[in-house]
A and B are shown apart, each in its own frame.
Chain A
C-alpha cells in the first residue's frame, strides 16, 4: 500500500473536492476542506516537501479555515443543507464520485493517464549537497529565496492582500 500512497491520497483529495463543489452548506464545505487540506499536506510530504506540508496545516487549516469556520458559524441558518438533504446536491456529489471512480479504473487499467496531456508521475524536489554545511532541500530554499531575490513578489503580494481587505470592506459597506 505504501507504494500507492500518493495515488490513494490524490483520490481522497479529489473526492473531498467533489464533496464541497456539490455545494452543501458552507459548514460542511469547511469540513471537507479540512480533510482535503490534510490529505494535500500528505501528498506534498510524500514528495519530500515537509516544510510546505507544515505550512498547509499551520496557515491554511489553522489560520484561514478557522476564521472561515467562525464567520460561517455566525452566519449559518437553522437547518443547514447536508449532501443527502437536497436532491440536486446529492446528484452532483454522486456524479462527481462516479466520474472519479471511472478515472481511477482508467488509471489502473493503463499505467498512465493521457486525457489532455500525459501525466505519469512527477519527480521529487531536488536535494542539493553544497558541501559547506550539509544537505539543502530545494523547497525550503525556495521560501528563503522569496525574501531575497523575490523581494518584488513579496511587495506585490503584500499590496494585493492590503487592497483585498480594502476592497472587501468597501464592497460590503453598502450605503
Chain B
C-alpha cells in the first residue's frame, strides 16, 4: 500500500477511536465507530488473498450490524429522554439494546463467533490491532453507561464468554485462534466487574492490552502462526522461549506475575459484593485458559518438540528488532508489586 495512504488510514482508525472516547453526543460516538470500522477494513486486507477478504467481510458485517443496533438504541433513548448526552441511558429497552450492540463489537458470547474466524484470516500485525486497539472504543462506552446496564444480561454474557473462551481454545493449534479465544475470555472477565467497579475493568483492559501486545510481538518476531512453528524458537532465538513462557503464564493469571493482578482484584471486588459462586465459577473456568497456555509453553519452552533434523540446525538470518518488546515483557510480568498504586485510578 502507498505509505501516504496507509498513514492516513491508520490515523483515521486512531481518530475514530478518539472521537468515540471523547464525545458527549451520541451521534458523534456513532460516527466515531463508523469511521473506525471503515478505516480498519483496508488494514485487515493488507494482503490480497481470499482469506483476508473473507475475514474483512465478516468483520464488516458483524460490526455494521452492531452499529445499527447501537443507532436504534440511541434513537429509543432520544425518544424517551429528548436529549443526546451520554451520562445516563433513560430507558431499559435502550440500555439492553445498547449492551447487546457493544457486546457484538467486543466479541462477547453469544456474539463471539466472528472473533476466531476474523483473527485467523488476517496477518499477525492486523490481528494485533484488531484484538487490542479495537476493544478500547466499545469498552469506553460501556464504562460510561455502566450505571444503567442491566446486570443480569451483562453477567450472563460475561460468564458465558469466560466459558466459551476457555473451552473453545482447547482444540486449537493456530496461534491467532488461540489469541482470539483468549481475548473472548478476557473480555468476559472485564465485563463481569463492570457494574461493580468500572475502575477494575479499565485496569484489566490495560494489563490485557500489554500482555496481548507482548504475545503478538513475540509471534511476529519468530514469524510463527502455528504451535509447530512456535516450537522451533529454541533454535532461532533461545531467549524468547523463556520470555514466551513467562508471558503465557502471566496471561493465565498465575500469582507472582502481573496477569494475576486483575483477576485478584476482580474476585475481591465480586466477593465484597456478596457474590461467591460467581467468582468461584469464573476462577475455575480460567483454568481452561491456563491449560492451553501451558500446552503452548510445554511444546515451546519446556520440551524440545519433535522435528526433523534439519529444523534443529537453522541458518541464522538477521533477527527482527522490535524495540518495544523488552519494556512490554517487563511490564507484562513484573507489575504485581505495584498493586497498592491502584488507588490512583479512582
- Chain B residues positioned under 8 Å from A163 (CB to CB): 8-9, 12, 35, 38-39
A156 within 8 A of B: yes
- Among A116, A153, A159, contact of B12 (Cβ-Cβ < 8 Å): A159
Question: Which residue from B9, B32, B76, B91 sits with its C-beta under 8 Å from A167?
Answer: B9
Nearest CB of chain A from residue B234's CB, rounded to whole Å: 36
Query: Are B5 and A170 within 8 A (Cβ)?
Result: yes
Q: Which stretch in B40-48, B235-243, B263-271, B296-304 binds the other chain? A: B40-48
A171 touches B41 (CB 8 A): yes
* Interface range for B: 20 to 34
Write out the residue numbers on chain A whose beta carbons fall within 8 Å of the beta carbon of B39. 163, 167
Report the minimal beta-carbon distance from B118 to chain A, rounded to whole angstroms: 16
CA distance A166 to B79 in the complex (A): 36
Q: From B80, which residue of chain A is reached at the shortest CB distance?
A: A117
Could you say which residues of chain B place their CB within 8 Å of the CB of A131? none
Contact with B along A120-135 (1 / 0, CB 8 A): 0000000000000000
Say whether A76 faces chain B, with CB atoms less than 8 Å apart: no
Q: Which residues of A contact B32 (CB under 8 A)?
A: 156
Q: How far is the CB of A107 from chain B (nearest CB, A)?
A: 18
Which residues of B1-40 are within 8 A (CB) of A?
A: 1, 5, 8-9, 12, 15, 19, 27-28, 31-32, 34-35, 38-39
Interface of B (DSSP majority class): helix
- Cα A159 to Cα B27 in complex, Å, equals 16
Report yes or no: B31 in contact with A116, Cβ–Cβ below 8 A.
no
A164 at the interface (CB under 8 A from B): yes
Closest to B16 in A: A160
Contact of A156 with B35 in the complex, beta carbons under 8 Å: yes
| B81 at interface by CB-CB < 8 Å | no
Counting CB contacts under 8 A, is B307 at the interface? no
Q: A117-B76, A156-B31, A159-B15 are in contact. Are A171 and B8 (CB under 8 A)?
A: no
8 Å CB contact of B19 from A156, A164, A174: A156
In the complex, are the beta carbons of B48 and A174 less than 8 A apart? yes
Q: A167-B39, A167-B42, A171-B42 are in contact. Are A160 and B9 (CB under 8 A)?
A: no
B4 to A, closest residue via Cβ: A166
Q: Is B93 an interface residue (CB 8 A)?
A: yes
Q: Which residues of A contact B27 (CB under 8 A)?
A: 153
Complex alpha-carbon distance, A159 and B13, angstroms: 12
Residues of A within 8 A of B80 (CB): 117
**CA A153 – CA B31 in complex, angstroms?**
9
In the complex, the number of residue pairs spanning A and B with C-beta atoms less than 8 Å apart equals: 48
Q: Which residue of the partner chain B has the closest CB to A175?
A: B48
Closest beta carbon of chain A to B29's beta carbon, Å = 11
Count contacts on A: residues with CB < 8 A to the other chain: 16
Q: Cβ of A175: which chain B residues have Cβ within 8 Å of it?
A: 48
Bound complex: CA A114 to CA B127 (Å) = 43
Of the candidates A116, A153, A159, the one whose C-beta lies within 8 Å of that of B28 is A153
B1, B8, B34, B56 pick with most chain A CB within 10 angstroms = B8
The reply to whether A167 and B38 contact each other, CB–CB distance below 8 Å, is: yes
Query: Nearest residue in A to B15 (C-beta to C-beta)?
Result: A159
The answer to whether A117 and B5 touch across the interface, beta carbons within 8 angstroms, is: no
**CA gap between A160 and B79 in the complex, in Å:** 27
Chain A residues whose CB sits within 8 angstroms of the CB of B41 once the complex forms:
167, 171
Residue interface mask A37-66, B partner, CB < 8 A = 1: 000000000000000000000000000000
Chain B residues, Cβ within 8 Å of A72: none
Closest residue of chain A to B27, judged by CB?
A153
Partner of A160, one of B8, B31, B76: B31
Report yes or no: B9 in contact with A170, Cβ–Cβ below 8 A: yes
Distance from A11 Cβ to chain B, minimum over Cβ atoms (Å) = 21
User: Which residues of chain B in 125-155 are interfacial with respect to chain A, using CB atoms and an 8 Å cutoff?
Assistant: none
Residue of A nearest to B72 (CB): A116
Contacts of B35 in A (CB 8 A): 156, 159-160, 163
**Distance in angstroms between the alpha carbons of A163 and B45 in the assembled complex:** 16
Q: How far is the CA of A18 from the CA of B307 in the complex (A)?
A: 58
Please indicate the chain A residues that have their CB under 8 angstroms from the CB of B31 in the complex: 153, 156-157, 160
- A156-B28, A156-B31, A167-B42 given as contacts; is B93 within 8 A of A116 (CB)? yes
Beyond the given A117-B79, A163-B38, could you list 9 further A-B residue pairs with CB under 8 A, ordered by the A residue number?
A153-B28, A156-B31, A157-B31, A159-B15, A163-B35, A164-B38, A167-B41, A171-B45, A175-B48
Residue pairs across A and B with Cβ atoms less than 8 A apart, 12 shown, are A156-B35, A159-B15, A160-B34, A163-B8, A163-B12, A166-B9, A167-B39, A167-B41, A170-B1, A171-B41, A174-B48, A175-B48
Residues of B within 8 A of A (CB): 1, 5, 8-9, 12, 15, 19, 27-28, 31-32, 34-35, 38-39, 41-42, 45, 48, 56, 76, 79-80, 91, 93
